[in-house]
């Protein structure tokens, strides 16, 4: 990583060339060193290390915006970036609302850096992977997955004097274990490898694989289901993407048009975006330097708030919420530290309460079918079980589902007191509990 002092130097160039060109600017520097060990069929098959640093400069002149992305941080590189900005701004068109950059803000700091994780060696990752492989082999099973470690730095600097710097470590993994036609899964994400219980992760994936062999078919239809934290996190990502963006609400292209301000769950469910929550990989400020704190989206079952980017807030007369994460799409916003807060029911009791239903280990390839109702389709995978009399009695073949996310929220019966930090498909750590839901709709079945 290049470090805070390095970026302070870059911020001076930003100020110099902003003054020289008359282009107001906000620059975002991102550096990442990521190492990832990937394994399949009980062997490492891919092992990579990537180091990359980028500088994005958002220029403003005559109420017109343009972006230049470069990897040059020296004075000449910054000067060239401003020259390009000038060129593009000359042909661009002004925005239809008055734009301005934010004034510098005070940002809370979170302790987020763990050196052991940031600098983890290939040997360390191989040892963890070896543990997974040995545990799988002990039961004549095979392990597949990845284990990633690294560090990331983010600096926001602007021509009006803002300067912020954040350095964080991260780690995440997933593990699929198969034996014959059985398959199991576990995942984890966090800021320190010390927070992961690798033995427990391996045990869960292996035991699920063993239990899910010789699956039987059940007919599609409506069932009570118990969703694992991984499945909850998957659905939560699509909710955040489709339903939480204030811009889409203002344009009337979001399910929030129908559901914002309504009681969407009979239970006091809380869905929050919170960089201070244990288990997330925190991002303390957004790309415009707005501080990020606990932001409650669904409060006690009530769909309470939407995210507004800096630009969308200016456009629609709202307060920015600290959720701008793209300089190429400054009006859009997204919550990056998602948490579905735990309830008060022990998982064992939650499971026992299901007389007949289906347990879902993981969703696969989810997508939105109808954005206005947030209808989500996808498949189950890596361990789907029939629940009878509060016990997982039989593995079943994978099923396709189509459910409305708000219908699901209104059908939540119980939320477990246990929650997990899981690795989501989009590479973000999400904290989620087990959830019991009735009338979950399966529409077809698979051959495996």
Partner 1 sequence: MRDRLKEVLDFLDSAGAEYFDLRYESIDEEEIAVENAVVKSYSIDQTQGVGVRVLYDGAWGFSATNRLSKDALLKAAKEALDIARTSARLKKEKIVLSSEEVYKDTYRSEFVIDPFTVEKEKKVELLVEATALMKKVPEVVRAEGELRFRKIKKLFLSSEGAEIDQEVVVSGGLIRAHAAGNGDYQVRSYPAGLEGDNATRGWEFIEEMSLLENAERVAGEARDLLYADVAPSGEYDLVIGGSQMALQIHESCGHPAELDRVLGYEISFAGGSFMTLDKIGSFRYGSPIVNITADATIPGGLGTFGYDDEGVRAQKSFIVKDGILVGYLMSRETAVKLGLSSNGAARAHGWWSIPIIRMTNINLLPGTSSFEELIGGVKEGFYIDTNKSWSIDDKRVNFQFATEVAYEIKNGKLGRLYKNFVYWGKTPEFWGSCDAIGNESLWHVWGVMNCGKGQPLQIMHVGHGTAPARFRKVKVGVRS
Site residues for partner 1, 112-171, by CB under 8 A, read 121-123, 125-126, 129-130, 133, 142, 144-146, 148
CA distances to 215, 223, 366, 392, 438 from 447, rounded to whole Å, are 10, 20, 18, 21, 25
Give whichever of 107 and 171 is closer to partner 1, judged by the CB atom. 171
Report the distance separating Cα 238 and Cα 220, nearest Å.
23
Counted residue by residue, the chain has a size of 448
Among 378, 395, 404, 433, binds partner 1 (CB under 8 A): 378
Helices 75-91 and 4-21 cross at an angle (nearest 10°) of 40
Among 92, 192, 207, 353, binds partner 1 (CB under 8 A): 92
Minimum separation from the CB atom of position 213 to partner 1 (A):
16
- Report 288-347 residues binding partner 1 (CB under 8 A): 327-331
Cα dihedral 368, 369, 373, 377, rounded to 10, equals -70
| Contact between 174 and partner 1 per CB under 8 A | yes
| Contact between 39 and partner 1 per CB under 8 A | yes
Cβ within 8 Å of residue 42, ≥6 positions away: 133, 136, 137, 142, 143
Would you call 335 helix, strand, or coil by DSSP? coil
Give whichever of 250 and 341 is closer to partner 1, judged by the CB atom. 250
Tell me the window of 153-161, 208-216, 230-238, 368-376 that interacts with partner 1 (CB under 8 A).
368-376
- Report 399-438 residues binding partner 1 (CB under 8 A): 400, 402, 427
Give whichever of 108 and 221 is closer to partner 1, judged by the CB atom. 221
| Contact between 175 and partner 1 per CB under 8 A | yes
Give whichever of 209 and 351 is closer to partner 1, judged by the CB atom. 209
Minimum separation from the CB atom of position 21 to partner 1 (A):
15
Among 8, 51, 138, 139, binds partner 1 (CB under 8 A): 51
Q: How, if at all, do strands 356-370 and 221-227 pair?
A: parallel
Among 218, 371, 407, 418, binds partner 1 (CB under 8 A): 371
Tell me the window of 33-41, 302-310, 353-361, 387-395 that interacts with partner 1 (CB under 8 A).
33-41
- Report 194-253 residues binding partner 1 (CB under 8 A): 251-253
Give whichever of 44 and 267 is closer to partner 1, judged by the CB atom. 44
| Contact between 103 and partner 1 per CB under 8 A | no
Cβ within 8 Å of residue 393, ≥6 positions away: 385, 386, 387
Tell me the window of 15-23, 302-310, 363-371, 429-437 that interacts with partner 1 (CB under 8 A).
363-371
Give whichever of 156 and 272 is closer to partner 1, judged by the CB atom. 156
Give whichever of 22 and 221 is closer to partner 1, judged by the CB atom. 221
> For the chain, percent helix, then strand, then coil, each to nearest 5?
25, 40, 35
Q: In sequence order, what E strands does 12-109 have?
A: 24-40, 43-61, 64-70
Would you call 351 helix, strand, or coil by DSSP? helix
Cβ-defined contacts of 75-83 (< 8 Å, 24+):
75/13, 75/16, 78/10, 78/13, 78/14, 78/16, 78/17, 79/13, 79/17, 81/17, 81/55, 81/57, 82/17, 82/18, 82/20, 82/21, 82/23, 82/25, 82/57, 83/21
Among 19, 20, 43, 216, binds partner 1 (CB under 8 A): 43
Among 12, 30, 84, 262, binds partner 1 (CB under 8 A): 84
Report the distance separating Cα 190 and Cα 169, nearest Å.
9
Minimum separation from the CB atom of position 305 to partner 1 (A):
21
Query: Which backbone phi and psi does 112 adopt, to 5 degrees?
Result: -135, 5
Tell me the window of 35-43, 101-109, 193-201, 411-419 that interacts with partner 1 (CB under 8 A).
35-43
Tell me the window of 52-60, 231-239, 349-357, 430-438 that interacts with partner 1 (CB under 8 A).
52-60
Nearest of 220, 226, 191 to residue 421 by alpha carbon: 191
Residues in contact with partner 1, counted by CB under 8 A, come to a total of 89
């Amino acid at each position: 990583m290049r470090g805070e002092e390095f970026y302070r130097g870059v911020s001076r160039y930003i100020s110099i060339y902003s003054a020289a060109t008359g282009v107001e600017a906000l620059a975002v520097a991102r550096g990442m060193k990521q190492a990832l060990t990937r394994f399949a069929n009980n062997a490492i098959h891919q092992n990579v290390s990537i180091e990359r640093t980028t500088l994005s400069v958002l220029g403003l002149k005559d109420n017109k915006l343009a972006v230049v992305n470069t990897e040059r941080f020296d004075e000449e590189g910054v000067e060239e970036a401003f020259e390009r900005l000038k060129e593009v701004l000359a042909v661009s068109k002004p925005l239809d609302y008055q734009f301005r950059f934010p004034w510098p803000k005070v940002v809370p700091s979170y302790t987020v850096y763990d050196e052991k994780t940031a600098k983890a060696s290939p040997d360390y990752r191989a040892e963890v992977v070896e543990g997974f492989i040995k545990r799988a082999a002990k039961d004549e099973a095979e392990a597949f997955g990845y284990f990633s470690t690294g560090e990331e730095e983010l600096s926001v600097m602007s021509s009006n004097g803002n300067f912020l710097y954040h350095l964080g470590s991260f780690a995440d993994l997933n593990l699929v274990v198969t034996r014959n036609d059985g398959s199991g899964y576990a995942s984890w994400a966090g800021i320190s490898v010390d927070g992961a219980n690798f033995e427990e992760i391996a045990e869960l994936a292996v035991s699920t694989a063993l239990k899910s062999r010789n699956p039987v078919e059940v007919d599609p239809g409506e069932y009570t289901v118990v969703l694992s934290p991984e499945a909850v996190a998957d659905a939560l990502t699509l909710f955040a993407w489709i339903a939480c963006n204030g811009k889409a609400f203002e344009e009337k292209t979001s399910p929030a048009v129908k559901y914002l301000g309504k009681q969407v769950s009979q239970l006091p469910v809380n869905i929050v975006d919170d960089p201070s929550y244990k288990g997330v990989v925190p991002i303390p400020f957004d790309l415009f330097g707005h501080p990020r704190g606990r932001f409650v989206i669904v409060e006690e079952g009530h769909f309470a708030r939407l995210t507004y980017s800096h630009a969308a807030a200016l456009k629609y007369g709202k307060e920015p919420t600290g959720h701008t994460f793209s300089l190429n799409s400054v009006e859009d916003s997204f919550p990056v530290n998602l948490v579905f807060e735990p309830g008060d029911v022990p998982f064992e009791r939650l499971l026992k309460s299901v007389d007949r239903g289906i347990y879902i280990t993981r969703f696969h390839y989810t997508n939105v079918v109808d954005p206005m109702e947030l209808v989500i389709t996808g498949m189950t995978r890596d361990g789907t079980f029939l629940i009878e009399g509060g016990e997982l009695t039989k593995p079943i073949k994978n099923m396709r589902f189509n459910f409305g996310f708000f219908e699901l929220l209104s059908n939540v019966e119980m939320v477990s007191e246990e929650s997990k930090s899981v690795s989501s498909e989009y590479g973000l750590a999400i904290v989620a509990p087990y959830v019991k839901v009735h009338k979950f709709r399966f529409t077809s079945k698979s051959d495996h």
